[in-house]
Structure 1
Amino acid sequence: MPRGMFRIGQIAGSDVLVSGSWFLIAGLIALIMAPRVDQVQSGLGVWKYVVGLAFAIALYLAVLLHEASHAVVARRFGFRVHSITLHFLGGATAIEGEAQRPRQEFWIAVVGPLTSILVGAGALGLWFVIPEGLLRLVVEGLAGANLLIGVLNLVPGLPLDGGRVLKAGVWAVTGRVETGTTVAAWGGRVLALLVGAWALWSTQFGSITSPLILGIVAIFLWTGASQALAVSQISRQFGRLDPVRLARRGLAVAPDLPLAEAVRRAREAEAGGIVTVTSDGRPSGLVNEDAARAVPEERRPWVPVSSVAHAIGPERTLPADVSGAALLETLRHNPATEYLLLNPDGSVYGVLVTSDVLRLVRRSG
């Protein structure tokens, strides 16, 4: 559980988390709503803030429905959804992996704003049949807020849902996901600049709250768009990468072989990696280069090579023909210092060292 987060339940098998910052925003909404509550029904005293807090809860339940729709569609496409988080700027859905086709990107993105618009339209319909009073006030606020959230989220710029819709469209036309991300991210940067200009312009009217909120939104948009650009650039570099050419030759040794002898044999064979194997030849461990180097020279004859080796599991093995894009996904979800490349028959092809990959990526960038 991240610090400052509270788990309030599950939706579609995903944890629902609430950021501590939400309570600050809920209190702010209650303060903003209080004068309007007084207009509708005076004499409530402190209860007018309770009504404002009830509206804040209802609003964030609508935001939760928006994010839950993202989660449900993502799961329908086979993606794992870690969590849904409500925070001071709205919500976020943590989906593992990236869309493989433009259609997936489009539907996962667009369903959220469509849900908000439908909720807003439903609340607007109720507004016409509910008599005047506090309930009508809450429904009125929900209608306006959800319609605003739905429409604004369709603005074509990352990190908004509309940016992902634009990304899907450009991706479908060009056939390149990186091009779609770049176009949508620059759309987000332009939007951030416009919101920032709006914040500066609004300072002329003497209000502090409005420029502050707009400034926070502008920073949020610029940061999200910039992160998307950075990820797109890294993805493009990894897409051009041939990990197999970077693989070091792997030397197979017995786990109980002294480290000094294993290092001597590796140097003699000009191998860049050491792999421990069982008696029947199956790889069992991958020697960590830094751990082996940290063992003093005088101790190496008495230290078994297995003591500086990581156990080999599925997360540390890759096929010998792994692509750059597949390697990037592995680095994201199963980071390690070394990976073992295996031939289709299970034999050792070589050792891929993460630092070698990152060095090449930085050089090409």
Structure 2
Amino acid sequence: MPEPANRRPNPPGTLRVGTLAGADVLVSTSWFLVAAMIAVLVAPRVDQVTPGLGAWKYVAGLAFAVILYGSVLLHEVSHAAAARRYGYPVTSITLHFLGGATAIEGEAKRPKEEFWIAVVGPLTSLAVGVVGLLLLFLEPEGLIRMAVEGLAGANLLVGVLNLVPGLPLDGGRVLKAAVWAVSHNVHRGTIAAGWVGRVVAVLALFWPALAAEMLDLEVGIYDYVMSFVVALFLWTGATAAMSSARIRARLPRLAARSLARRTLAVPSDLPLAEAVRRAHEAQAGSIVTVATDGSPVGVVNEAAVLATPDDRRPWVATSTVARTLTPGLSLPADISGEELIRAISANPAAEYLLLEPDGSLFGVLATADVDAAFRSASK
């Protein structure tokens, strides 16, 4: 069956296995590696519980990995459901080496939304763990008991660890929401949770050595490798969130009105040479073509004008170097900050028409000017 025309292509290294909560469920190639690792690690326990299975013990271990990641999927689906409940689209849920990730479009607008979207995941894992413990009272036997015990223990551990208050963990987003609610500054909340996330990353890195020294636990090379992978994941995630917060804190400086170029409106059939002459005379940095009734119909592309030889400009209409206006190329003159970045990202173009609330023409916004202002704000 052919894919729907509006379906997004899968990210590299992922396989789509279905849809849940309105989102594509993707499995990363790294998942197959961790599933194989789980199968190998669980196989000796399977052999103890049910001796004589031979190679089938690895199949049982693989089945346990699938069941375990089914609960991870449930964790991520709860995030997706909460996000959709608040009106945020969810594009995909990806299962990977370290668990799962839910791709939510847009950022929470209020601390309450951030809190519930984040906390519902760990609460779901804890609920699955508690249900597993209750099922043990039914006294299941053999491989079923082993699976229930493993599922209960893993979900309780995942639920508790995810509530650790450091980004990129769910608990970090809970802390972010709390600081945001108190300080009324979302970026301050992200920075605070990011710093805690870095501390957690350092603790994760040294956990095997601490466990061996203080708890007298036996640790091996596998424990050190896994602690390094987890620490790297936490550190990079926290650092990325902090960097993004610092940049986004400066985004309000990007105001379309202050970046707009003075604009000259000319008839569509006016020769390009005359339009350029009038623009220079009026000291206008942009040109808009208008219909006979004066309504704007196109924005002249600066690159196209420069590419037109001087000796041809008297013989070509200005409309030939103008991009026809579409809804995405007309923006409110008062748009700014993240809303401005999202608007131009959704409809990439070199120039945009800025309109006043009454629909009158204010000016033209050049993407090059926005990029320059963004780089300046990010320093």
Q: TM-score, normalised by structure 2?
A: 0.89
Q: Which residue identity is paired with 2:261?
A: R
Q: Which residue identity is paired with 1:234?
A: I
Judged with a 3 Å threshold, the aligned counterparts in structure 2 of structure 1 residues 271 and 118 are, in CA distance, closer, same or farther, namely same
Give the structure 1 partner of residue 40 of structure 2: 31
Deviates more, 1:323-332 or 1:120-129: 323-332
- Residue 299 (structure 1) shift: 4.0
Look up the SS of the partner of 2:67 in the other structure.
helix
1:50 maps onto 2:59 in alignment:
yes
Give the structure 2 partner of residue 254 of structure 1: 267
Look up the SS of the partner of 1:280 in the other structure.
coil
Look up the SS of the partner of 1:128 in the other structure.
helix
1:63 maps onto 2:72 in alignment:
yes
Look up the SS of the partner of 2:138 in the other structure.
coil
Deviates more, 1:341-350 or 1:99-108: 341-350
Q: Quick one: distance in 2 between partners of 1:286 and 1:224?
A: 41
1:287 maps onto 2:300 in alignment:
yes
- Residue 267 (structure 1) shift: 1.9
Counterpart of 1:153 (choices 131, 139, 162) is 162
In structure 2, stretches of 5+ residues that fail to align are 1-9
Q: Quick one: distance in 2 between partners of 1:142 and 1:206?
A: 23
Give the structure 2 partner of residue 41 of structure 1: 50
Q: Is the 8 A contact 1:274 1:286 kept in 2?
A: yes
Counterpart of 2:230 (choices 217, 220, 245) is 217
Q: Quick one: distance in 2 between partners of 1:89 and 1:298?
A: 63
Q: Is the 8 A contact 1:199 1:215 kept in 2?
A: no
Residue deviations 1:193-234 (CA, integer Å, cap 9, x gap): 222233676899672322222211111111111111121112
Q: Quick one: distance in 1 between partners of 2:134 and 2:31?
A: 28
Q: Quick one: distance in 1 between partners of 2:359 and 2:47?
A: 74
Question: Identity percentage over the alignment?
Answer: 61
Q: Is the 8 A contact 1:203 1:211 kept in 2?
A: no
Q: Which residue identity is paired with 1:315?
A: G
Pairing 1:206-355 to 2, within 5 Å after superposition: 207-355=220-368
Give the structure 2 partner of residue 172 of structure 1: 181
Counterpart of 1:10 (choices 19, 24, 40) is 19
Q: Quick one: distance in 1 between partners of 2:314 and 2:52?
A: 86
Judged with a 3 Å threshold, the aligned counterparts in structure 2 of structure 1 residues 55 and 244 are, in CA distance, closer, same or farther, namely same
Aligned length: 365
Q: Quick one: distance in 2 between partners of 1:206 and 1:298?
A: 79
- Residue 147 (structure 1) shift: 0.9
Residue deviations 1:101-133 (CA, integer Å, cap 9, x gap): 111111111101100110111112112313220
Q: Which residue identity is paired with 1:320?
A: A
- Residue 331 (structure 1) shift: 4.3
Deviates more, 1:318-327 or 1:341-350: 318-327
Deviates more, 1:306-315 or 1:226-235: 306-315
Q: Quick one: distance in 2 between partners of 1:41 and 1:32?
A: 15
Q: Quick one: distance in 1 between partners of 2:208 and 2:324?
A: 55
Q: Quick one: distance in 2 between partners of 1:232 and 1:64?
A: 28
Q: Is the 8 A contact 1:124 1:140 kept in 2?
A: yes
Judged with a 3 Å threshold, the aligned counterparts in structure 2 of structure 1 residues 198 and 289 are, in CA distance, closer, same or farther, namely farther
Q: TM-score, normalised by structure 1?
A: 0.93
Judged with a 3 Å threshold, the aligned counterparts in structure 2 of structure 1 residues 106 and 44 are, in CA distance, closer, same or farther, namely same
1:122 maps onto 2:136 in alignment:
no
- Residue 323 (structure 1) shift: 2.9
Judged with a 3 Å threshold, the aligned counterparts in structure 2 of structure 1 residues 102 and 298 are, in CA distance, closer, same or farther, namely same
Q: Quick one: distance in 2 between partners of 1:351 and 1:297?
A: 24
Look up the SS of the partner of 2:146 in the other structure.
helix
Deviates more, 1:173-182 or 1:346-355: 346-355
